[in-house]
């Protein structure tokens, strides 16, 4: 695992020990950022099922100002912190060990709105529809922002979730990527 582009291109990243997480492959990661960027002029991000932190770190490398990383697994939490330290990104990030819905409720209290939200939950525990509904209902995404959902290819997310509209969907073997943005009134 490595950072594939930007200021940290080529930097190795540690994987979460064990088989509880599934890192996003370089090919899929490159495709995700080509759909959303590929580079950014600032902005804020949320990596909600962070795992090793690969997606959020890639986003920072490509120009985001800051990213909040959340994962409920202790090993993932420790791995994200180690990767951020190794990449000298601790001052541009916050890392929390929390369950996704509880983390979103905590973010809501802080009145944070994101430019980019990365949702890559365990494939067997899909709650993407509910998460998208929560993000939309509480307006956690800026009007020009994007939500990236990584999920199993057997799952098709609805084309619209409130004001969130699916812009693009691509399948890579067993993985499907769905990109949403807010539809302006």
Asked whether residue 2 is assigned to any structural domain, the reply reads no
Asked whether residue 172 is assigned to any structural domain, the reply reads yes
Residue with tokens 């983390």: 103
Asked whether residue 4 is assigned to any structural domain, the reply reads no
Q: What is the mean pLDDT of residues 160-182?
A: 95
Asked whether residue 56 is assigned to any structural domain, the reply reads yes
Going from the C-alpha of 51 to that of each of 22, 28, 184, the distances in angstroms are 8, 16, 32
Asked whether residue 12 is assigned to any structural domain, the reply reads no
Task: Considering only the C-alpha atoms of the chain, give the largest distance between any 2 of them, rounded to a whole number of Å.
Answer: 45
Report the percentage of the chain scoring pLDDT > 90: 84
Asked whether residue 6 is assigned to any structural domain, the reply reads no
Query: Higher-confidence residue: 122 or 173?
Result: 173
Q: What is the CATH number of the domain that holds 111?
A: 3.40.50.150
pLDDT of residue 25: 80
What six digits make up the tokens of 160?
């619209």
What six digits make up the tokens of 122?
């365990």
What is the secondary structure of 52-98 as a DSSP string? Answer: TSHHHHHHHHTT-SEEEEEES-HHHHHHHHHHHHHTT-GGGEEEEE-
Domain range spanning residue 97? 26-182
Going from the C-alpha of 56 to that of each of 111, 134, 144, the distances in angstroms are 20, 21, 18
pTM to 2 decimal places? 0.95
Residue with tokens 């943005």: 181
Closest to 76 measured CA to CA, from 93, 100, 51: 51
How many structural domains does the chain have? 1
24 has pLDDT over 90: no
Asked whether residue 20 is assigned to any structural domain, the reply reads no
Asked whether residue 15 is assigned to any structural domain, the reply reads no
Alpha-carbon span 162 to 165, nearest angstrom: 8
């Amino acid at each position: 695992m490595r950072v594939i582009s930007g200021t940290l291109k080529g930097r190795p990243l540690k994987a979460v020990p064990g088989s509880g997480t599934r890192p996003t492959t370089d090919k899929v990661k490159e495709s995700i950022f080509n759909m959303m960027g590929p580079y950014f002029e600032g902005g804020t991000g949320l990596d909600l099922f962070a795992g090793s932190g690969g997606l959020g770190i890639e986003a920072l490398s490509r120009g985001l100002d800051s990213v909040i990383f959340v994962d409920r697994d202790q090993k993932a939490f420790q791995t994200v912190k180690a990767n951020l330290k190794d990449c000298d990104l601790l001052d541009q990030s916050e890392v929390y060990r929390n369950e996704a819905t509880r983390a979103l409720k905590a973010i809501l209290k802080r009145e944070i709105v994101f430019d980019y939200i990365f949702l890559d939950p365990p494939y067997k525990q899909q709650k993407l529809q509910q998460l998208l509904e929560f993000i939309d209902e509480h307006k956690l995404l800026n009007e020009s922002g994007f939500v990236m959902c990584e999920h199993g290819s057997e799952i098709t997310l609805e084309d619209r979730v409130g004001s969130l509209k699916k812009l693009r969907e691509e399948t890579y073997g067993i993985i499907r990527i769905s990109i949403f943005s807010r539809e302006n009134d």
